[in-house]
A and B are shown apart, each in its own frame.
Chain A
Amino acid sequence: MSHPSHPGRGPERREGPGIAVAFGVSALASLGLTVLYGFGGQPQIEGILLFIALGGLGAGLILWGKQLMPNAPFVEERKLNLGRPEARAEVVASLEEAGPDAGRRSFLAKMLGGALGALGVAALFPIRSLGTAPGRALFRTPWAGGGRVVTIDGEPVAAGDFEVGQVLTIVPEGNLEAGDSQVILIRLEPGEYEPPPGREDWSPEGFVAFSKVCTHAGCPVGLYQAGSQELFCPCHQSVFAVLQAAAPTAGPATRPLPQLPLRIDEDGFVAAQGDFVEPVGPGFWNRPSA
């Protein structure tokens, strides 16, 4: 049932040498792959040879289909019979043969549904085993015990060796890995930083420390612009002004980076007074309002 209206797909198609050449080139490339593999392989050449091997097969098959196979449009009738009421009525009748009378059947069906539902609920409980309960985990960090601050390599920070303008990522001593305890330590000019009420003794000798976990989506606030004294999150471009107690000044973050209360211990090392007074990191539903 060919249709005459398709120019260029008529019976005058000719076979060129292309098909055999394509398959031949493909076979050669595969041979080349074997040799290359024997010599230890090389990613770029592997890619090119695989391209030729697979592409030769593809080109050959497509040319074969276009040049040598029947291409005149064929017409097939749609025989699909949609929505036949008689057949459907029979199906419904068969399905309803599941019990003696409608009342009894409906009662048993409800019991079955109840039993399956109860099993479904019981089967949900193993999901609980997947993780620890949130509990108070989001409300506290390993800083709770106070103690010295250390670099991510575990080195303590001597206050005297730390220059004004210097920046360092610190973690609590003895707990280098936790994700929520990373803190940015910055030393400012004495008097440059005006602490908010209640935090007057949190920044001894110009040392200030803010949680490094962005309050937007939790990325480490990894960039510090010394000139403007701003912390910058590379993920979604939230900006926090250090001199304004790390309040967000641009980007999607809505809350300041929590400040870690610091002290200088008796040996002259920088230490924490205790934990943050608010949860660090991104928001969650039961986070208390500031």
Chain B
Amino acid sequence: MLKKVARWIDNRLGTSAFTQDALNKVFPDHWSFMVGEIALYAFVVLIVTGIFLSFFFDASTSQSVYDGSYAPLVGVEVSDAYKSTLEISLDVRAGLVMRQTHHWAALVFVAAIVVHLCRIFFTGAFRSPRELNWIIGITLLILAIFNGFTGYSLPDDLLSGTGLRIAYSIALSVPLLGTWMGFLIFGGEFPADQIISRLLVTHIMIVPALIIGLLTAHLALLWRQKHTQFPEPGRTEHNVVGSKLWPTYAAKSLGLFFGVFAILVLMGGLFQINPIWLYGPFEPQQVSSPAQPDWYLGWVDGALRLFPAVELRAFGFEIPNPFYPGVLLPGVTFLALYAWPFLEQAFTHDREPHNLLDRPRDRPMRTALGATTLAFYTVMFIASSSDLIAKWFTVSVLDLVRVFQVLVILIPPAVGWATYRLMKALAGSGAPRLTEMPLSALTHPNGRGNGAFPHQERGRDAHAGGATAGDDGDGRSAARTGGDGALPAQRIDDRE
């Protein structure tokens, strides 16, 4: 049977040689390489559950009186979008599991992308020749966050309506273009009727198509350039060590897909999320308290809360307060992310192709900068729950906001400094992993001989061959060490 199918296809497409290459393709085994796969599989779950939901959802803001099975809302005037979401949740068989799994999968999707991004960043996997895939990856992150928000806004409930209201205000705040942007996106002054149907087209057609296209390109580039790998004996700039695609990697990866799917349906079945029947339908005069966005927009909401009450006027025109935390901050964030591989190249003058990864300790400055950045966004994320935290600890929310305003400035540099010291100590101790580093290494960060692992670091270098970064502290050197595969990765020259 298999022979027959293979012959039939090969006689028509002549793909046997390619297929054989593909089946033999080697994928490195490291747990941190699974995170990107988790994002991919969460996206598959989003598509499967999303298709189911799309058959029942009605993206209309026409109002009618609710007379369905949720007694507390009977007699209340609601939109068709809200009503159909209620029906999916309460009346369609398996509808609630599908809807909640979809929502949880969206949260996990963005989370996995962010963790994957951190893995790529802290191990230097974005370096030449992989800058293009970094750019595609950042674009995927932006699209994932954006599509999360459009989906969250579809049910036309009170919480998401408040979120849309804030999004509209942020659009309005853009200098010169803001009023037109707000009116064209929403169809007129808020709350305009067209927004839900536009969100649906964006959410289930435009953005998913973009994500699928870019995801394909992301994987195609990965396939073409092959994986990076951590330096270990036997691993060089010129090989890939791991499992073959067929059968081992395919079986494990398919197993991971089912595992991710299993966890997401369990969360969808057991953990309530976005119970819109408790929030009620959107009414422009009402607001829910507390009001938080989904986690991936927490940093923007936190920034809106923490940014001080100032706004500027330039040339007689206003630059409203939400512009700075709501437009400028995300703009700078994603621009900096896009630019990072090139910024680092400009600082280190290292434009060589790298297939062997750095360990975070190899580049203490990069690692410290990354930790500083993460700390900055984490404080803002926590600040987006300032009202909830104030309630739990029964303190004044206004005092708490002031504390956060100080913390968001103090904590990131402190975390960066501590990370830098830790990475230097770790590199100096030669400990194979952080948990095995003796505490004394922290007080004598450069005492290479005092640690329990004096030979580890050099031993690793000697076997790694290729371009293991020299550790001179500021990450400027790209010195190479010798070894069995002593040739550096192939030179490429962008400047002729």
CB proximity to A under 8 Å, residues B189-205: 189-192, 194
Q: Looking at the complex, which of A104-112, A244-252, A267-275 is the stretch in contact with chain B?
A: A244-252
B322: A residues at CB distance < 8 A? 216-217, 252, 282-283
> How far, in angstroms, from A81 to B353 measured CA to CA in the complex?
12
**A95 and B54 alpha carbons, distance in the complex (Å):** 46
Residues of chain A within 8 A of B25, CB atoms compared: 76
Q: Choose, from B131-139, B141-149, B175-183, the stretch at the interface.
A: B175-183
Partner of A131, one of B97, B192, B289, B307: B192
Q: At the interface, yes or no: A122 with Cβ under 8 Å from chain B?
A: no
* Contact present for A251 and B262 (CB under 8 Å): no
B191 partner residues in chain A, CB cutoff 8 A: 179
Decide if A158 is an interface residue (CB 8 Å cutoff). no
- List, in ascending order, chain B residues with CB within 8 A of A43's CB: 94, 96-97, 100, 269
Structural contact, A131 and B255, CB atoms closer than 8 A: no
Contact B261 A54 (CB under 8 A): yes
- Residue B268 interfacial (CB < 8 Å): yes
When distances are taken between beta carbons in the complex, the residues of chain A under 8 Å from B306 are 252
B19 at interface (Cβ–Cβ under 8 A)?
A: no
Whether a CB of chain B sits under 8 angstroms from the CB of A35 is no
Contact between B320 and A284 (Cβ–Cβ < 8 Å)?
Answer: yes
Query: Given A75-B26, A130-B185, A236-B305, are A220 and B286 also a contact pair (CB < 8 Å)?
Result: yes
Q: How far is the CB of A33 from chain B (nearest CB, A)?
A: 9
How far apart sit A201 and B249, CA to CA, in the bound complex (Å)? 79
- Contact check, B266 vs A47: say whether CB atoms are below 8 A apart: yes
Are the CB atoms of B309 and A248 closer together than 8 Å? Answer: yes
Chain B 123-163 near chain A by CB (<8 Å), digits 1 or 0: 00000010000000000000000000000000000000010
* Docked pose: A47 CA to B265 CA in angstroms: 5
User: Do A234 and B290 touch (CB < 8 A)?
Assistant: yes
> Of the candidates A48, A58, A222, which one forms a contact with B270 in the assembled complex, judged by CB atoms under 8 Å apart?
A48
CB <8 Å contact, A78 and B355: yes
Asked if B183 and A48 sit within 8 Å, CB to CB, the answer is no
* A48-B182 Cα distance, complex, nearest whole Å: 44
Q: Which residue of A lies closest to B290 (CB)?
A: A234
Asked if A131 and B187 sit within 8 Å, CB to CB, the answer is: yes
> In the complex, what distance in Å separates the CA atom of A288 from the CA atom of B378?
37
Number of B residues contacting the other chain (C-beta, 8 Å)? Answer: 109
Q: Which residues of chain B come closer than 8 Å to A58, judged between CB atoms?
A: 255-262
Question: How far does the Cβ of A231 sit from chain B's closest Cβ, in whole Å?
Answer: 12
Separation in Å of the B469 CB from the closest CB of chain A? 19
Residue in A70, A75, A238 whose beta carbon sits within 8 Å of that of B239 in the complex: A75
B226 within 8 A of A: yes
Interface pair A83/B269, CB less than 8 Å apart: no
What is the chain A residue whose CB lies nearest that of B176? Answer: A285
Q: Which residues of chain B come closer than 8 Å to A179, judged between CB atoms?
A: 165, 189-191, 284
A199 at the interface (CB under 8 A from B): no
Other-chain residue from B169, B254, B269, B316 in contact with A50 (beta carbon distance below 8 A) = B269
Asked if A226 lies at the interface with its beta carbon under 8 angstroms from chain B, I say: no
Q: Mark A216-251 against chain B: 1 for CB-CB distance below 8 A, else 0.
A: 111110110000000000111111000000001011
Q: Is B233 an interface residue (CB 8 A)?
A: yes
- Given A218-B169, A253-B321, A74 and B244 contact (CB-CB distance below 8 Å): yes
Cβ of A76 and Cβ of B24 under 8 Å apart? yes
When chains A and B are docked, how far (Å) is the Cα of A177 from the Cα of B283? 8
A137 surroundings in chain B (CB, below 8 A):
183, 188-189
Q: How far is the CB of A89 from chain B (nearest CB, A)?
A: 11
Any A CB within 8 A of the CB of B398:
yes
B217 at interface, CB cutoff 8 A:
no
Stretch at the interface among A60-68, A188-196, A202-210, A257-265: A60-68
B265 and A285 within 8 A (CB): no
8 Å CB contact of B255 from A65, A78, A83: A65
The CA-CA distance from A179 to B213 in the complex, in Å, is 38
Residue-wise, chain B 199-238 has the 8 Å CB interface mask toward A (1 for contact) of 0000000000000000000000000111000000110011
Contact B397 A75 (CB under 8 A): no
Provide the bound-state CA to CA distance between A287 and B247, in Å.
Answer: 65
Partner of A3, one of B234, B261, B267, B321: B234
**Contact between B313 and A289 (Cβ–Cβ < 8 Å)?**
yes
Q: Report B76 CB to chain A, min CB distance, Å.
A: 12
Contact A62 B251 (CB under 8 A): yes
Give the contacting residue for B186; candidates A128, A131, A239, A286; CB below 8 A.
Answer: A131
- Shortest CB–CB separation between residue A40 and chain B, in angstroms? 7
Min CB–CB distance A2 → chain B (angstroms): 10
List B residues 337-380 near A (Cβ within 8 Å). Answer: 353, 355
Question: Can you name 29 A-B pairs with beta carbons within 8 Å?
Answer: A47-B101, A50-B97, A55-B262, A57-B258, A62-B252, A64-B255, A69-B248, A74-B24, A75-B240, A82-B490, A131-B183, A131-B184, A132-B183, A137-B189, A171-B285, A182-B284, A216-B169, A217-B166, A217-B169, A217-B326, A218-B190, A219-B162, A234-B288, A237-B397, A250-B398, A251-B401, A252-B307, A282-B322, A283-B173
Instruction: Report the 9 A-B pairs with minimum CB-CB distance, sorted nearest first.
Output: A47-B269, A283-B320, A58-B258, A61-B255, A65-B251, A55-B262, A62-B255, A234-B289, A58-B259
Identify 6 new A-B residue pairs, CB closer than 8 A, beyond the known A137-B188, A182-B284, A217-B165: A40-B93, A43-B97, A47-B101, A47-B269, A51-B266, A77-B239
